[in-house]
């Protein structure tokens, strides 16, 4: 995944040729836009409940997962190739002066949300592990609400959306705006799909899960619908998030050619 500039345009934050450089490559803007649309489609259409059932019925679960993984990888490769092979394009807007500070201060939150998501078993993982759509009404379809899910039931998608918003705030050229809008669209579609699957599930457990958790971080805790304790998130997750963020800051200039701390 490509992470790009935090700094203002006149901050002099460019750090020479990055590892992810498209120098010597030529790609067209229509191809870039087409690959952007294909990336969104490859992450959403095959996983829609109806499409997934039809594909699994026709191909089998293992073949479906293999082909879906290969398709996603091929489209992602094409999109990254198109991204690094074109210029920045026209500048659509200028970042506000405070944008770098906002990004540097809030990016640890985005990293924490995504880290907590990948290190915490989702309450509906049992349904997915069985190769089925999440079904809150099925035995084991929803587990005990714990960890980051006390704070929000979509931590990974919210973390990605925050990451996207902070980068959109700090860039403005067409190439990067398209990149971050694509990632934001993927996150929003994931939220909509998960909400649809939960709300269509029958049974009291699904209704209870929706009633005691929230999309907006902290809403269920503040309203008393969820136990006001985050101790099961564990201390090491925020610490690890800060360490990962520090590594990203240090590596940013060498991999992507832009130092997020310059211009602050």
Alpha helices in 85-173 (DSSP H): 99-118, 125-129, 155-169
pLDDT of residue 64: 85
pLDDT in tens, 137-151: 444 445 578 889 989
Look at residue 33 and tell me whether its pLDDT is greater than 90.
yes
Q: Which of 82-91, 155-164, 255-264: highest mean pLDDT?
A: 155-164
**C-alpha to C-alpha distances, 254 to 5, 13, 233, nearest whole angstrom:** 12, 12, 33
Q: What is the pLDDT of residue 9?
A: 35
Mean pLDDT of 199-215: 79
How far is residue 74 from each of residues 39, 78, 137, measured CA to CA in Å? 9, 6, 36
C-alpha–C-alpha distance, residues 260 and 7, integer Å: 5
- Using an 8 Å Cβ cutoff, are 40 and 189 in contact? yes
Phi then psi for residue 228, to 5 deg, are -85, 70
Q: Confidence band (pLDDT; 50, 70, 90) for 27?
A: low
Residue 83 C-alpha from the chain's centroid: 18
Query: pLDDT value at position 12?
Result: 34
Query: What average pLDDT score do residues 167-185 get?
Result: 95
The listed range with the strongest mean pLDDT (64-78, 133-147, 221-235) is 64-78
Checking if the pLDDT of 243 tops 80, the result is yes
pLDDT of 43 over the 90 cut: no
User: What are the backbone angles phi and psi of residue 173, rounded to the nearest 5°?
Assistant: -80, 150
């Amino acid at each position: 995944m490509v992470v790009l500039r935090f700094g203002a345009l006149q901050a002099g934050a460019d750090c020479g040729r990055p590892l992810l450089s498209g120098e010597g490559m030529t790609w067209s803007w229509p191809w870039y836009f087409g690959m952007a649309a294909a990336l969104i489609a490859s992450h959403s259409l095959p996983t829609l409940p109806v499409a997934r059932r039809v594909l699994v019925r026709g191909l089998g679960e293992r073949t479906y997962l293999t082909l879906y993984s290969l398709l996603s990888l091929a489209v992602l490769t094409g999109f990254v190739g198109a991204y690094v092979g074109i210029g920045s394009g026209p500048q659509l807007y200028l970042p506000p002066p405070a944008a770098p500070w906002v990004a540097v201060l809030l990016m640890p939150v985005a990293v924490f949300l995504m880290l907590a998501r990948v290190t915490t078993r989702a309450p509906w993982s049992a349904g997915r592990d069985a190769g089925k759509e999440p079904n809150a009404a099925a035995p084991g379809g929803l587990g005990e609400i714990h960890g980051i899910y006390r704070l929000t039931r979509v931590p990974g998608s919210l973390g990605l959306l925050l990451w996207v918003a902070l980068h959109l705030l700090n860039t403005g050229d067409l190439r990067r705006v398209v990149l971050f809008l694509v990632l934001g669209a993927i996150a929003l579609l994931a939220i909509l799909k998960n909400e649809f699957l939960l709300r269509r599930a029958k049974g009291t457990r699904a209704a209870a899960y929706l009633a005691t958790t929230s999309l907006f971080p902290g809403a269920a805790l503040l309203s008393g619908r969820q136990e006001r304790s985050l101790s099961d998130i564990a201390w090491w997750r925020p610490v690890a998030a800060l360490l990962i963020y520090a590594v990203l800051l240090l590596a940013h200039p060498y991999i992507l050619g832009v130092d997020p701390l310059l211009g602050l």
